[in-house]
Chain A
């Protein structure tokens, strides 16, 4: 798989403030990568440097093999960008807004019209294409933003806080559309501070803290590294003294009793087999057994608790 984004010791300083500090990042083709972190941790600055909209103070960037500082047009021709809280010309219709963008990309006439129709249909906005964007809801604007990203048929889509300000339903809908980009073979880089929303669609995530990427990997890898567990098993069973029995299983780190018959097990491996055997051997009745996805929120909170304790 070819490398889409590569940065080496990428640094951005605003006066005394270091916004991005020695970032090393590699994103491969077809990946969905999540840049996660609190507001002001350097996510947007990183994105602007990838697009050549801000010059790095030090370090190197390569996007699709091009240098955004010296060849910004080549980069921007191939990369779609949805800025945080995207704005449109409110008095123009969606179609007119997209037509302007098509012209800026050198697309005119029939081809532009066909592509505009294609992306608006795909985003479910074709019916309202001739309404002024000023009448659009937040979710519709965000989808129009994604339509604009797709208009240039990008190899890489960069989405900055795409779900911020959306209601949960609209956010889920939007993430579905993002998943559709991956199916098209478009590499996606998205930033967010809403971890639980993006963990479902990200192949890998990078955690930002004060301009540094402090953790990087799949959600499982991160939970294993930070929480020392990679799996959470949800067990429903009846029986006496099950907690003791369960905590004796070698790979189980912690057992918690949520409700009288519901136990949550943190484990290093997927040891559902052992759990089932122990419950039955201990004379209990197994009602259900399921693997739960660990929440990135927990990883995140735990990590920052530790950082604060050390500080």
Chain B
């Protein structure tokens, strides 16, 4: 049995309303403040460090993102790597159950729109909000770089920077989709927020430990071949985590010198000119699997959310 009418009806009304909510919410302002503080802090410290080596590095602009220097233990991208999931979760954890608890869900769904429009609208609004934040942040960092270092980024560096933005957005989309999924599954916003943060903590902290243990148990390294097998298994397992996928993608995009993301045998290095940077297209090729995996995780999470939401009863 087919339904009639376009699933896009009312989509933009939902997107605009939700974006207005996000951009004016206290929650979002707090997080934006936090992100901008860390951004300015890390970038300032990085710049202070880079000023001493201005003449030596061809990718000075990209170094702004990746240089870590005392007193801050992490670089700008490392900070972003854990602030972005938190922001995405904050934007999505009460998307559906919030409507339900405010008793607005049945009223909204009684308007001439499909549930598709509500769900997709909320997702897109979250994504656009994150996109705006990231773009502003990127421009801020670029501006600071030009201002303090006096170095104009080249075309390829800007391209790498934009790709970094897109990848970060996809990574944020995963956590947003997860948070929205939990907001469909759980009735209480507190439960869905905690569940989403628990998943994030699991991948951010415990997954590495688990991967190490599993790799040692499943592939004990008692000879050189077993050692390689263990490393490969460890890499495979660790790439099941979106955090690893994101970290690898960013590593390769922001460091043109990175030529491989796995173990390299000496024989494979024959004829390679070590330390020479890759062109952008080759760096992109290197992380293509990671990139597509990130996007597919995002799509799968959204699809599961969609199915769950379509089946849910709206009655209070």
Where the two chains meet, the residues of A that have a C-beta atom closer than 8 Å to any C-beta of B are: 44-45, 48, 51, 53-54, 69-74, 76-77, 79-81, 83-90, 100-101, 103-106, 145, 148, 152
Please, which residues of chain B bring their CB within 8 A of the CB of A90?
102
Contact of A69 with B1 in the complex, beta carbons under 8 Å: yes
Please, which residues of chain A bring their CB within 8 A of the CB of B315?
44-45, 48, 53-54
Please, which residues of chain A bring their CB within 8 A of the CB of B17?
100, 103
Please, which residues of chain B bring their CB within 8 A of the CB of A86?
103, 107
Bound-complex Cα distance A85 to B103 (A):
8
Where the two chains meet, the residues of B that have a C-beta atom closer than 8 Å to any C-beta of A are: 1-5, 9-10, 13-14, 16-17, 102-104, 106-114, 313-316
Contact of A81 with B107 in the complex, beta carbons under 8 Å: yes
Bound-complex Cα distance A48 to B105 (A):
13
Bound-complex Cα distance A71 to B9 (A):
13
A-B contact pairs, 17 of them (CB 8 A): A54-B313, A54-B314, A54-B315, A69-B3, A70-B3, A72-B5, A73-B9, A77-B112, A84-B316, A87-B104, A88-B104, A89-B104, A101-B111, A103-B10, A103-B13, A145-B107, A152-B111
Please, which residues of chain B bring their CB within 8 A of the CB of A79?
110
Please, which residues of chain A bring their CB within 8 A of the CB of B102?
87-90
Which one of A70, A80, A85, A145 lies within 8 Å of B4 (CB-CB)? A70
Please, which residues of chain B bring their CB within 8 A of the CB of A44?
315
With known contacts A48-B314, A104-B10, A105-B111, A70–B104 Cβ distance under 8 A: no
Contact of B13 with A100 in the complex, beta carbons under 8 Å: yes
Please, which residues of chain A bring their CB within 8 A of the CB of B4?
70-71, 73-74
Contact of A51 with B110 in the complex, beta carbons under 8 Å: yes
Q: Determine how close the nearest CB of chain A comes to the CB of B27; give it in whole angstroms.
A: 12
Please, which residues of chain B bring their CB within 8 A of the CB of A145?
107
Q: Determine how close the nearest CB of chain B comes to the CB of A281; give it in whole angstroms.
A: 60
Bound-complex Cα distance A104 to B2 (A):
22
Please, which residues of chain A bring their CB within 8 A of the CB of B109?
53
Please, which residues of chain A bring their CB within 8 A of the CB of B111?
76, 101, 104-105, 152
Bound-complex Cα distance A83 to B99 (A):
14
Bound-complex Cα distance A79 to B113 (A):
13
Bound-complex Cα distance A154 to B20 (A):
28
Which one of B3, B16, B112 lies within 8 Å of A105 (CB-CB)? B112
With known contacts A54-B315, A85-B103, A87-B102, A72–B3 Cβ distance under 8 A: yes
